[in-house]
Structure 1
Amino acid sequence: MSDLGESDNTCRQFAKTGTCRFGNECRYQHDYVEMSVSSSAAKDKGKGKKAAKKTGARDFESFSETTPLRAFFAKYPSFAYDTSNSSSKEYYRLCEELHWDREDVDRFLAYEEFKNALVKQFNMIYGTDESSLHAWRNICEAINISPVPEGLNACRQAVRDSHVNLVDLIDSKVNGGAVERFSSEIALGEYTKRTGKYFPYGNAHAGGLLRSLLRRADNPSGRSKQKHRRK
């Protein structure tokens, strides 16, 4: 029997293992989690939907127990990874428990692996295909854009016009938390600095979809970056 879905348009192989031999060319749908992360406005509709979000988050963790972030934290057996927390917060807690200061080589090496895990987790949840309407619609739902645009270009623009933290975008599919949309780049930057939720740039594992988001985050105004080089 084929591992691909027939009646429900869902790839059974992907649902069972988290991978598919056809990758982005698969004609069936790769659903990571059937969940829409809501903002404060949607929360007012009742506790039932909040419970549904939490169930969806657990479903994502259960369908693939060896997610990249789980695999990273599993390298440290003495550390109990808490998926209800932000992944960045858990990384900092790991550093504290292992008594790594900022100059510690082990901390540096662990951070490089943590950044790889973040990028791989994004790819696992949202995909890598920049031209995938399903991927962009999934992101729109995660950041509570309503109604979700129908077309690819409209979805892209809606996401790119939003100011959200990419670590939150990943964590929301694991812990069911809402992704806050900020009013400006400045407000987002202040939040990122305050929480330490920094997302890696220039990572070799980044797919086309993530690179598209990072290009926008790095240069949201579309202006030349010659006068705004990172130090």
Structure 2
Amino acid sequence: MVSESFFSRFAGFKPNPSVPAKDEFARLAHARNWKENGGKYRKEWAKFIAWEFSKHYGPQATKLENWQSLCHGVGIEDGIESITKCKKALKSVHVNIVDLVDARRTGKKVKTFRSQAALRNYTLRTERIFPKNAAKEDGFLKALLREIF
């Protein structure tokens, strides 16, 4: 599994796959004495959250099933018979990507926002930020990226 390979680099750390991603990463960071927002913390957070997303939604942006899984994850059920239709449907969705990962980790429904401004306010207030560079590299995530800063 993708996230297990991430955690396997840290001897003695036992991951709990059912807690929110940010909480689990904070526990790892504390165990490793990484300062929050320090360079090592940010670098490892980017690796962790990207691997978590890939674990839950698939690593291949060329597979229709992965796009459909992403659409289902944000509540889109109809009109997703092709990758193009999935991308088009996702353009109108405003969702926090960290929350999307957590929905799969915890089994809870992901919250979507009515507007980009509402998503921006929530993301800045909660500091649940998916690293922009990691998102730009991933075809799925690019479909969900919204201007936050």
- Native 8 Å contact 1:126 1:135 kept in 2: yes
Which structure carries more helix by proportion?
2
User: 2:21 matched to 1:87?
Assistant: yes
3-state SS of the aligned residue for 2:78?
A: coil
Number of the residue aligned with 2:126: 195
1:148-205: CA deviations, max 9, x gaps? 5323322211112100111122222222121111111121122222322110111399
- Aligned residue number for residue 3 of structure 1: none
Structure (1 or 2) with the larger CA radius of gyration = 1
Other-structure match for 2:75: 144
Alignment-derived partner of residue 75 in structure 1: 10
Q: Which runs of 5+ in 1 are unaligned?
A: 1-63, 220-229
TM-score normalized by the length of structure 2? 0.77
Q: Deviations over 1:109-138 (max 9, x none)?
A: 133122112112222332344443222211
Percentage identity across paired residues of the two chains: 28
Seen in structure 2, the aligned counterparts of structure 1 residues 206 and 131 have a Cα distance that, compared at 3 Å, is same
What is aligned with 2:147? Answer: 218
- Unmatched 5+ stretches in structure 2: none
Count of matched residue positions in the alignment of Structure 1 and Structure 2 = 149
Moved more, 137-146 or 83-92: 83-92
Q: Partners of 2:7 and 2:39 in 1: how far apart?
A: 14
